[in-house]
Amino acid sequence: MSAWLLAAWYDLRDLSGISREITEWVASWGPEWLASAVSGAIGAIGILAVIGPTLMILIWTERKVIARLQVRYGPNRVGPRGLLQPVADAVKLILKEELVPRAADKWLFFLPPVLVFIPALLVWGVLPFGPHMQVADLNVGVLFLLAVSGTNVLAVFIAGWASNNKYALFGAMRVIAMTISYEIAMVLALLTVVFLTGTMSINGIVLWQQQEDLILIVLLPMTALTFLLGATAELNRTPMDIAEAESEIVAGYHTEYSGMRFGLFYAVELANTLVMSAFMATFFLGGWWLWGLDAWVPSWIILLVKTSLVYFVFIWLRGTLPRLRIDQLMTFCWKLLVPAGLLFVAIAAVERTLLLEYAWDRTIALPVMAVINAAVTVAVIGAYARVTGAGAHRAPAGPRMARGRLGGLRAARQLAQAPSGSD
């Protein structure tokens, strides 16, 4: 039976209990393949039912949070506190004229908006929402994640190529150069996790964290950082959004797209970010598990909270940092993340073997390893800073941001109310 079916849940609040009853009802009169297909369809509908509304909320959240970080108001006109802004956006995009450039490759031009969405939805299938709450618990889950999320690049390149626009093609080429560079860093990060946990099943990685009573970000800080930055690059988000740098190449690969097709490109960015937050939470923050709290609170709520935390970090990065140049990004990836990734793969392999060969007390051995890894992380970042000449001496002595009365929305309001020249 399907993994989605087996959910042993103790609570009416849990959704998988309902799904199990439906599937068992189908199995009572129908053939087995139908029951299996029904359980798969329930999983798929469940995932889409979560993602669709979440995307609408995220559009508002992202704009609002970034606005607050940048001392603006953000959307506040449509509905209470601008909450209906995403609906207004969707209506506007659906009713907008869709332009197809004369020079574009007509058939290829229509494909990417749909193609780009598929990996963003498909990888949810291997994400465990609970002990047995998973559409497909593959024993090669990590490889599936890497393979499927990697196909995103193809859709983007089709978009850039088919537009027959120089800006679009440049954007697409930049996406490919950056994505494949950071993909190496991400693969190495996940390889480190697999080396330490000894399993490629994503649920297995969560179970390992549960068994060792330890979240992996404590044990592998550098790897978690690599994954976070690699994800940021793969999502083309600021500070790594050179693919759609407005000041250089208009909108990058979706320059020629308008109307709802542009809307899909916009939505897929959020969907991908949500996916990466969820996987970051699963790999490094313990997923659905939280020191026994998962026995009292539905596991998917725990995962949701952790995902939101990671998502906030993504928004925070976007709202705070300026865009980097492509050579800076490449240097950062190939000269820090990849060598450090290789180093940590070796370290994780050695640690795993030590744990297997010697019957050490794990409650002592793992914290010791965590301290060693943290020390190596600091040393590696320090060495990188020294080698590339970005030493601490170049950093400004103190923050140059406006502070105190001049910082924040409240100060802005006060300034607006105060008579001019008083400050």
Please list every residue from 117 through 136 that binds other proteins, using CB under 8 A: 117-118, 121-122, 124-126, 135-136
Q: Does 161 bind other proteins (CB under 8 A)?
A: yes
CB of 338: closest distance to other proteins in angstroms? 7
Distance from C-alpha of 334 to C-alpha of 185, rounded to nearest angstrom: 8
| Burial readout 170-199 (b: 16 or more C-beta within 10 A, e: otherwise) | bbbebbbebbebbbbbbbbbbbbbbbbbeb
CB of 304: closest distance to other proteins in angstroms? 20
Q: Choose among 224, 226, 198, 184: nearest CA to 349.
A: 198
CB of 205: closest distance to other proteins in angstroms? 12
Question: Is the N-terminal amide bond of 298 cis, ω within 30° of 0?
Answer: no
Q: Using an 8 Å Cβ cutoff, are 68 and 312 in contact?
A: no
CB of 400: closest distance to other proteins in angstroms? 28
Task: Say which DSSP state 75 is in.
Answer: S
Binding mask 309-338 for other proteins (x = CB under 8 A): -----------------xx--xx--xx--x
Q: Does 18 bind other proteins (CB under 8 A)?
A: no
Distance from C-alpha of 363 to C-alpha of 30, rounded to nearest angstrom: 50
**Cβ nearer to other proteins, comparing 275 with 290:** 275
**Cβ nearer to other proteins, comparing 56 with 315:** 56
Which residue is associated with the tokens 């002595």? 397
The interface with other proteins within residues 268-307 (CB under 8 A) comprises 268
The interface with other proteins within residues 194-223 (CB under 8 A) comprises 194-195, 198-200
The interface with other proteins within residues 170-199 (CB under 8 A) comprises 173, 176-177, 180-181, 183-184, 187-188, 191, 194-195, 198-199
**Cβ nearer to other proteins, comparing 357 with 361:** 357
**Cβ nearer to other proteins, comparing 4 with 289:** 4
CB of 323: closest distance to other proteins in angstroms? 15
CB of 102: closest distance to other proteins in angstroms? 4
Q: Does 90 bind other proteins (CB under 8 A)?
A: yes
Q: Does 164 bind other proteins (CB under 8 A)?
A: yes
**Cβ nearer to other proteins, comparing 266 with 317:** 266
Which one among 14, 234, 241, 256 touches other proteins, defined by CB under 8 A?
256
DSSP codes of every residue in 144-199: HHHHHHHTHHHHHHHHHHHTT-HHHHHHHHHHHHHHHHHHHHHHHHHHHHHHHH--
Which one among 12, 29, 102, 107 touches other proteins, defined by CB under 8 A?
102
CB of 145: closest distance to other proteins in angstroms? 12
* Distance between start and end Cα atoms, the chain: 71
CB of 417: closest distance to other proteins in angstroms? 41
Distance from C-alpha of 76 to C-alpha of 68, rounded to nearest angstrom: 12
Class of residue 17 by CB neighbours under 10 A (exposed 0-12, middle 13-18, buried 19+): middle
Distance from C-alpha of 215 to C-alpha of 282, rounded to nearest angstrom: 9
CB of 396: closest distance to other proteins in angstroms? 26
Which one among 142, 202, 240, 274 touches other proteins, defined by CB under 8 A?
142
Of 211-219, 236-244, 309-317, 351-359: span binding other proteins (CB under 8 A): 351-359
Distance from C-alpha of 196 to C-alpha of 211, rounded to nearest angstrom: 13
Which one among 297, 352, 385, 408 touches other proteins, defined by CB under 8 A?
352
Q: Does 113 bind other proteins (CB under 8 A)?
A: yes
The interface with other proteins within residues 355-414 (CB under 8 A) comprises 356-357
Alpha carbon 294 to its chain's center: 23
Distance from C-alpha of 207 to C-alpha of 216, rounded to nearest angstrom: 12
Give the count of residues interacting with other proteins (CB under 8 A). Answer: 90
Report the 10 Å Cβ neighbour count for 351: 21
**Cβ nearer to other proteins, comparing 74 with 230:** 230
**Furthest-apart CA atoms within the chain: distance in Å:** 81
Token code pair at residue 185: 């860093």
**Long-range interactions of 410-416: CB distance < 8 A, separation 24+:** 412/71
Which one among 342, 370, 376, 381 touches other proteins, defined by CB under 8 A?
342
Which one among 28, 97, 394, 396 touches other proteins, defined by CB under 8 A?
97
